[in-house]
Amino acid sequence: MKLESFWAWMPITNVSLAIREVLKGTLGAGSLAVVMLSTLLAAGMLIQVCVRLCRAERVLFRR
């Protein structure tokens, strides 16, 4: 499996493929930018979900 445009946007897979490309010395700046952007977008969306869940009282004060 190579770090191509499709796999570069998959949040977990892209990091492992990027690490492999770094170790081989073949990672380009564009690919690295796509990997970082997609990872930051995924992290931002997951943080928003966590904030919404924590704002709901039924999650915090579950019996």
Asked if 42 and 11 touch (Cβ cutoff 8 Å), the reply is yes
pLDDT of residue 10: 84
Residue of higher predicted confidence among 54 and 26: 26
Tokens of 57: 């009282």
User: 12: pLDDT confidence band, cut at 50, 70 and 90?
Assistant: confident
**Which pLDDT band, with edges at 50, 70 and 90, does 38 fall under?**
very high
- Provide the 10 A C-beta neighbour count for residue 8: 20
Average pLDDT over residues 9-38: 90
